[in-house]
Structure 1
Amino acid sequence: MSDTTPTTGDQNGSVPGRSRVVVVDDHAMFRTGVKAEIGTAVDVVGEGADVDSAVAAILQTSPDVVLLDVHLPGGGGVEVLRRVHEKNPDQRFLALSVSDAAEDVIGVIRAGARGYVTKSISGDELVDAIRRVAEGDAVFSPRLAGFVLDAFSGAIDIAAVDEDLDRLSQREREVLRLIARGYAYKEVAKELFISIKTVETHVSSVLRKLQLSNRHQLTRWATDRRLV
């Protein structure tokens, strides 16, 4: 099976009472691992590795829940949500991502996902989250639940966060998060496989775009917005 070919299961072969799930992630090994973890409790009826294959698998199988990674080739999880909801507004999504960054969480929830859990979740917890989303509940990893409540209650000005972050490129956001977490330039360069000079250039650009003066202000800015 290629990474970009959607696969579907036999809808008539699903076990009554078990949730039907499509797994969307651009890493084949991760999809295989998820299926191994949850396959005895749910029916995995399809999968996708990018936006196009994900949309095709979801529309073809109409699962109870889609497990959706946030970062995907072809436009990301938000694009999958947009395209599927144009055809089926009732389709339920549960974001499953390594990222707990503010713009990722709020982006997919605004786009219509019913929940957001991180990849540190256990197999049993994921099965329970799938069941709850299938029943109409909203589900979040514990750390993210308070953040989402703060965001939508107005305690965090997400509109301002989005506006500021929109000025940054994807690479600048990656550098921002690592610097805010206390990484030295040398460590950032190693983590992102770029030169120290390139890191310095990105940091200067981030400071200029956010109208900040130094690394300390940058760290406080990111921490206040729960980006780290």
Structure 2
Amino acid sequence: MKILIVDDHMVVREGVRRLVATVATAITEAETPSEALAAFRRQRPDVVILDINLKGGSGLEVLRRLRADDPDARIVVFSMYSDIAYAASARREGALGYVAKSAPSDDLLTAIRKAGRGEPFVDGETALAMETLGQGDSDPTASLSPREVQILHMLGEGHSLTEIAEGLGVAYKTIANTSTRIKEKLGVERTSDLIRIAIETGGGRMLRREPRES
């Protein structure tokens, strides 16, 4: 099984490489969206292990581009976030698997094996949160794009709009406009309402330090 590991942390990639060595015949690594797309097109891996947060872009956007390039791409999202909004977004974009980095290592191996067979898998803790909300059908973030979901959850983690703009390497106005668009889609008026929604859809796992109203 050929596996592509996409993560912007070398230590994580090394750990995943050691873990998947028992099931992989070839392993390729990438740390940026452009590297991921190039490696995918060059290697055509059987399974892609993809992080949500990458240098220079969102893993969810990479997921969407990989699926556009190959609708049969088998992708397992491996994320620090064990919440339903990210899992639901990944599923909507076509990911077969979703495993939080806090999950047991066996869950990632199970997700890889299942993805190799074209079967879905979600780690136990995330699956339980999704089941609580009717398998994600009640997820209020369903109308949001991957980047909008990312910004919503950065707000839920306690970041101000200025901090989000700096972290994503974009202009403050871009983030402010996106925040306004998210509010319109979710039918709320205040940033504090977005934080509440982010926390609720995150299963209570996000930081509850409210950022400044921006």
* TM-score exceeds 0.5: yes
Partner in structure 1 of residue 174 of structure 2: none
Match among 108, 118, 138 for residue 155 of structure 1: 138
Do residues 98 (structure 1) and 80 (structure 2) align? yes
CA contact (8 A) 1:69 1:95 kept: yes
Do residues 45 (structure 1) and 21 (structure 2) align? no
Partner in structure 2 of residue 226 of structure 1: 202
CA contact (8 A) 1:21 1:66 kept: yes
CA contact (8 A) 2:83 2:202 kept: yes
Q: Deviations over 1:172-204 (max 9, x none)?
A: 74353359xxxxxxxxx9xxxxxxxxxxxxxxx
Hey, what's the Cα distance between the residues in 1 that align with 2:16 and 2:115? 17
- Percent sequence identity is 29
Q: Deviations over 1:22-59 (max 9, x none)?
A: 10000112101111122133234311101000111111
Amino acid at match of 2:139: I
TM-score (norm 1): 0.65
Q: Classify 1:122/1:55 alpha carbon distance in 2 versus 1 (closer, same or farther; 3 Å).
A: same
List alignment gaps of at least 5 residues for structure 2.
164-178, 205-214
Residue 152 of structure 1: CA displacement? Answer: 5.2
Partner in structure 1 of residue 54 of structure 2: 72
CA contact (8 A) 1:77 1:108 kept: no
Q: How does 1:52-201 map to 2 (within 5 A)?
A: 52-149=34-131, 150=133, 154-159=137-142, 162=144, 166=148, 170=151, 173-178=153-158
TM-score (norm 2): 0.68
Q: Classify 1:221/1:79 alpha carbon distance in 2 versus 1 (closer, same or farther; 3 Å).
A: closer
Flag the structure with larger Rg: 1
Q: Classify 1:43/1:124 alpha carbon distance in 2 versus 1 (closer, same or farther; 3 Å).
A: farther
Partner in structure 2 of residue 15 of structure 1: none
Hey, what's the Cα distance between the residues in 2 that align with 1:175 and 1:78? 17
CA contact (8 A) 2:4 2:47 kept: yes
Q: Classify 1:220/1:136 alpha carbon distance in 2 versus 1 (closer, same or farther; 3 Å).
A: same
Hey, what's the Cα distance between the residues in 1 that align with 2:64 and 2:191? 38
Amino acid at match of 1:177: E
The root-mean-square deviation of aligned C-alpha atoms, in Å, is 3.5
Partner in structure 1 of residue 2 of structure 2: 20
SS at match of 2:22: coil
Hey, what's the Cα distance between the residues in 2 that align with 1:132 and 1:173? 28
Amino acid at match of 2:16: V
